[in-house]
Each structure stands twice: as structure tokens, then as C-alpha cells.
Amino acid sequence: MWRPLLLLAPLLLVLRPPPEAAAGPLSTSTCWIIDESGRRVKLACVNWVTHTEVMVAEGLVKQPLDVISEGIASMGFNCVRLTWPLFLVTDYNLAAVTVRQSFLSLGLNESVAAILVNNPSLVDLPLLQAYKAVVRNLGENNIMVILDNHISKPGWCCNNTDGNGFFGDKYFDPDVWTRGLTKMAGMFCDATNVVGMSLRNELRGPKQNVNDWYRYMQRGAEAVHAANPNVLIILSGLSFDNDLSFLSRKQVKLSFSSKLVFELHWYAFSNGHAWKNGNPNQVCGNISASVMRRAGFLLNQGHPLFLSEFGIDLRGTNANDNRYLGCILGLAAELDVDWALWTLQGSYYLREGVLGMEEFYGVFTYDWCKPRNATFLHRISTLQSPFQGPGLISETKPYKIFFHPTTGMCVVRKSLLVPFQLGPCDESEAWDYTPQHTLALKGTLLCLKAAGDGENVNTGVDCSDSASKWELISDSRMHVSTKMTATDGGRLCLDVGQDGSTIVTSSCRCLGNDIRCDPESQWFRIIDSSRAVVRMYF
Ligand SMILES: *[C@@H]1O[C@H](CO)[C@@H](O)[C@H](O)[C@H]1NC(C)=O
Ligand SMILES: *[C@@H]1O[C@H](CO)[C@@H](O)[C@H](O)[C@H]1NC(C)=O
Ligand SMILES: *[C@@H]1O[C@H](CO)[C@@H](O)[C@H](O)[C@H]1NC(C)=O
Ligand SMILES: *[C@@H]1O[C@H](CO)[C@@H](O)[C@H](O)[C@H]1NC(C)=O
């Protein structure tokens, strides 16, 4: 397949099929989620809130349902993690309450007028029927749904003492929960776009303990599977879904197989202000290692890991969030995990007593009419399709690509005559990282070479000198450093040049303890990819 010959014009092979709807129920195979044909389906979801007091999917006062669903698809998401409060299905007093009545009971009279304009057909539906209409509409737009039991008592979530945190809390009776899960699972038996259920969001609080976790989560999983054997069973960890480390000592025991997925939540604030107050390389290295110990190890145990909440303030003004994002995107690309961004809604009907609160983590603007931050969406777009897994059109072995989390792009070269630049990851060359520490273009005799401080990198055939040897250094392991020394005697690292695109080498930054320093233009993850190679040198 790989013919080591050097021609000047690369051949453009566009082999990647357009995204399709998943065929049939999903299941798991090692750490991947697959469809009935055995092909990997990567969940690239966005969270959508329906668990607050109103119990109506947010945004329906702002835009027609179908416009919102189309917007989700056009932003590249193939899936929604749709939250629901347990009492919506277990409290018989709520069964008959309509959307209109729910708004009115909370004094949201103007919302009724607005929803009458945008979604007249939903206003007089009972709450559960409205929830179903949302699921159905997402299906019509080819969007998969994860039903996420977010809380019991409708309202904003979550804190340690809100009575919804763990089995036995005031609003969290395990029997009621199991009954609710059974009902919900059965109700969506025929909805083919409902591919999974998150059994309970962010277990937490003073009552949390490992024994009860196994006892009740296994029971809940069996109940859901009995009511609907098609859905993936998604289990959250302890401590706000930050901790699944107990699974390294004891496995979950279930009567069925190939349906189990674990979910992890990871925000910047999960570690307080660590990102802002530390050296970015050290913090990224430390926290990534900790995430691997708390959850990442599950991939090696052969379970899919669903990063079901992560996100940032999309105004780009939160330094803690900004630093975290480059790190988490690098790790998410490397592990190629399934994920759900927090969050869709640009605003809430009513949150924590505030009418029409804006959500700055939401991908829609306040009025839900356009994306809040197109740059951010571009940055995550390559993570919306799989790099690895069964069924990708690929060579038999994965190859390496250079992912640049700060831009969401990869190192590419349009021809041998132009310098390496940032470009779409789908157009990356296939690289090998050899035991000799060279970075070789697969199928050629060429390897990557540094040319000096501020100079463009290039390729050459003499791969034995120090300019051709590359190491991953710094605590983040995201600096790709050559052994060629800089003019000042220090190390040279891959970097993005002044024009914001050309790949150069420059002095490695932030290798010490400096907390103000920003290394991000030098952050690259050399990751495995089995995507079809678009550009090859024959
Ligand atoms: C809201 O609507 C209800 C029912 O139509 C009505 O009884 C109530 O007075 C209205 N409240 C306000 C503040 O307009
Ligand atoms: C926790 O949440 C409950 C319910 O939303 C709220 O009443 C309470 O004030 C919150 N406690 C803290 C410490 O934020
Ligand atoms: C990283 O972890 C090490 C050892 O666990 C610790 O000494 C160091 O302070 C941590 N650094 C940061 C920036 O968190
Ligand atoms: C989008 O986010 C980036 C940082 O990621 C920020 O610089 C930019 O100002 C944001 N754009 C908008 C429209 O908020």
C-alpha cells in the first residue's frame, strides 16, 4: 500500500463518507461504541436541560423546536444528552400538567405567550408528551438522544446538600428511582434514536459510598435493560462524577454484556482555581494524570468512557477555563473518547429564581438564533468524528498526526513545495514516531527536520542528525522538542509562526514554574488516527 517514492504532487484521495445515522441499536466492543454493522459510532453530544422547575426543554420560547434541532445538527453534534427530573415520571400529580400550566404555576406568563408564538403545538401537551415531542423531533433531524436522569426534584442541580445527591437522600429513594428508570426506559422502547440512558447524574453528598453504588447502580442497570434492552447503560461515578477509581478494584456485575458505558465530568472548576494559579504545563500534566487514575483507566479495562460534561465560558474571558480547554481537548483527542459538551441552552426560562438567566457556557446565544462562539465550535469540530475504532476506512494500522488543541487543527502540508501549516486534521499526512525518535512521513524516506529558531520546519532524507530527533517534553508532554539547540543554548519546540499558521520551531516556553507564561501555541498532541489518508506521496 505505501510506496516509498517521492513525487512532488500529492494525490488527493477523499474517501471519508458523510456522517450517517447509526444503524440499529448501539452496543460496545472494547472501549468503543459500535452500531449493528460493527462500525464505530462516536457520541459527539451537547447537553440540553429539561430538569429545572418548568420541566420543559429550554429554549422553546425563543425558537421553533425544529429550528433548534437543525441548529444542533448544523453545529456538528450528532447527539443530545437530554436531562429529565425523576419526579416527572414518578409523581402522579405531574402526569397531567401541561406545558402552559407549568409555566403559569411559576408565574412565567410571558413565556406562555412566547411559546405560543414559537411552538404552538406544544403548549397544551402534558409535560411528558412535550418531552417525547422533543425526542421525536431530534430523531427526525438524525440526532441521537441519551436520556439523562439529572435529579429527582425538578430544579437546578447540583450541590452536596440538595437532597438529590445519593441513594437515601431526602428526594432519592432507590425504589422510586428504579421505578422511574423502568418507566422511562419502557416509554422510549420504540424510539430508535434513543441510544442510551444516563442512570443518574453526579452522585455526591455525605451519604455517598462505594457499597451502595454497586448495589443500586447494578439494580438500576438491570431494570433499564429489562425494560429496554436496546439502550446503552451509562453509569456516573461518585463525587459529582469526578471519581470512578473504585472500579479499578471491583467490576460491575450485570446479567448482560456489551451495553455498559461509564461517564465522567471534568470542568476547570473541578480543580478550583488550579489552572489560573499554576504553571499550565504542570497543571495539565498533574490533572491529566489524576483524570487517568480516576476514570481514564477504564478504557484499558475495555469500557467506553463518555466525557458527558465539560465546557467553558464561551466569552473567552475566564482564564481558568481557557487554560483547561487546551489541555482537555488534547487528552480527549488522544483518548478519542465519546463526549457531551455542557451545554446547548443560551438561556433558561427560570434558573435558581432568576428569570431568563443567560448561560455563557451555552453554544447558542441568549436568543437561541445563532452560535455564541463560532471559533470555539471550529476548535471542537475535529473531535466530532472518530480518529480510531472499528469500521473506519483506513490502513490496517493507525498512524500518527499532530493535533494542535489551541486551534483544533493539525499539521498539514498541501504539497512538498510549501511549508507545513495548520489545517484540517482530515488532510493530515500519515506519520510514524519511530524508536529512533524521528518523525517519519509514512511510506516515504522523509522525516521532519528543524531548521533553527523561528525557521519553518521541513522534511529531509538525512534523518540521523539532531535536527531530526524529536522528544515529547515538559510536564504536559505536549511540547515536541528537537535535540537541535536554540541560539541561546536552550531547546527548540514545534510552534506556530507569526502568521498564525506556518509551523516553525522556537524556544520552548514555560518549562519552569512560571505561572503567567502561556505555552499553548507550542502544545501539540501526537495522536493515533485511522482516518482515511487524504494526502499521500506516491
Ligand atoms: C398569569 O396568568 C394567570 C392565568 O391566566 C393569571 O391568573 C394571573 O393573574 C397572571 N399573572 C400575571 C402576573 O399576569
Ligand atoms: C443547594 O441546593 C439547594 C436546592 O437547590 C439550595 O436550596 C441550597 O441553598 C444549596 N446549598 C448551597 C450550599 O449552595
Ligand atoms: C503537581 O503534582 C506534584 C506532585 O503530585 C506537586 O508537587 C505539584 O505541586 C503539582 N503542581 C501543580 C502545578 O499542581
Ligand atoms: C470566542 O472564544 C475565544 C476564546 O476561545 C475568544 O477569544 C473570543 O472573543 C470568543 N468570541 C466571542 C464572540 O465571544
Residue (of 179, 177, 183) closest to 165 by Cα position:
177
> For residue 411, what are the β-bridge partners?
422
Q: Give distance in angstroms: CA of 372 to centre of ligand 4.
A: 9
pLDDT in tens, 455-470: 999 999 999 999 999 9
pLDDT in tens, 482-526: 988 877 888 999 999 999 999 999 999 999 999 999 999 999 999
What are the cell numbers at 68? 433548534
Cα 510 to Cα 474: distance, rounded to the nearest angstrom:
8
Q: Collapsing DSSP states into helix, strand and coil, what is residue 74?
A: helix
Count, residues in the chain: 538
DSSP secondary structure letters along 344-412 = --SB-SEETTEET-B-TT-SB-TTSSSBS-HHHHHHHHGGGS-SSSTT-S--SS-EEEEEETTTTEEEE
CB atoms within 10 A of CB 258: 11
User: Does residue 255 contact residue 228 with C-beta atoms inside 8 Å?
Assistant: no
Q: Collapsing DSSP states into helix, strand and coil, what is residue 225?
A: helix
Q: What was the pLDDT predicted at 8?
A: 36
What contacts 39, CB < 8 A, 6 or more positions away? 23, 390, 391
> For residue 371, what are the β-bridge partners?
364
Mutate to test the pocket of ligand 3, among 271, 273, 286, 511 (most ligand atoms within 8 A of CB): 286
Beta carbon of 279 within 6 Å of any ligand 3 atom: yes
What pTM does this model have?
0.95
For residue 2, is pLDDT > 60? no
Q: Give distance in angstroms: CA of 40 to centre of ligand 1.
A: 51
pLDDT in tens, 256-285: 999 999 999 999 999 999 999 999 999 999
Cα 446 to Cα 438: distance, rounded to the nearest angstrom:
10
Ligand 1, pocket residues at CB < 6 Å = 104, 109
pLDDT in tens, 344-383: 999 999 999 999 999 999 999 999 999 999 999 999 999 9
CA distances from 28 to 44, 46, 232, 428, 528 (A): 16, 21, 8, 29, 20
Domain limits of the chain? 5-9+43-369, 399-529
User: Does residue 243 contact residue 216 with C-beta atoms inside 8 Å?
Assistant: no
What residue owns the CA closest to ligand 2's atom 6?
Answer: 162
**391 compared with 113, residue with greater pLDDT:** 113
The verdict on whether omega for the bond into residue 343 sits within 30 degrees of 0, i.e. cis, is yes
pLDDT in tens, 80-99: 999 999 999 999 999 899 99
Triad 197, 200, 201: Cα angle to 5°: 105
Cα 249 to Cα 251: distance, rounded to the nearest angstrom:
7
Q: What was the pLDDT predicted at 387?
A: 96
The tally of CA atoms less than 13 A away on the side-chain side of residue 362 is 21
Beta carbon of 322 within 6 Å of any ligand 3 atom: no
Beta carbon of 376 within 6 Å of any ligand 4 atom: yes
For residue 396, is pLDDT > 70? no
> For residue 126, what are the β-bridge partners?
98
Q: β-strand 503-507 against 11-12: which pairing, if any?
A: unpaired
User: What is the CATH T-level fold of the domain 399-529, as seen in this structure?
Assistant: Trefoil (Acidic Fibroblast Growth Factor, subunit A) (2.80.10)
Q: Give the ligand whose atoms come closest to the C-alpha of residue 273.
A: 3
What residue owns the CA closest to ligand 3's atom 5?
Answer: 286
Cα 53 to Cα 362: distance, rounded to the nearest angstrom:
19
For residue 11, is pLDDT > 60? no
User: What is the CATH T-level fold of the domain 5-9+43-369, as seen in this structure?
Assistant: TIM Barrel (3.20.20)
User: Does residue 168 contact residue 212 with C-beta atoms inside 8 Å?
Assistant: yes
CA distances from 232 to 23, 115, 135, 161, 203 (A): 14, 33, 16, 30, 19
Triad 478, 504, 438: Cα angle to 5°: 60
Cα 400 to Cα 396: distance, rounded to the nearest angstrom:
13
Give the pLDDT band of residue 392 (cuts 50, 70, 90): confident
Mean pLDDT, rounded, of the chain: 94
Q: What was the pLDDT predicted at 487?
A: 79
Q: Give the ligand whose atoms come closest to the C-alpha of residue 373.
A: 4
Mutate to test the pocket of ligand 1, among 99, 106, 109 (most ligand atoms within 8 A of CB): 109
Structure letter (DSSP) for residue 62: T
Q: What was the pLDDT predicted at 22?
A: 61
Backbone angles phi and psi of 489, in degrees to 5: 85, -10
User: Does residue 313 contact residue 323 with C-beta atoms inside 8 Å?
Assistant: no
Mutate to test the pocket of ligand 2, among 156, 159, 172, 348 (most ligand atoms within 8 A of CB): 159
pLDDT in tens, 17-74: 444 556 679 999 999 999 999 999 999 999 999 999 999 999 999 999 999 999 999 9
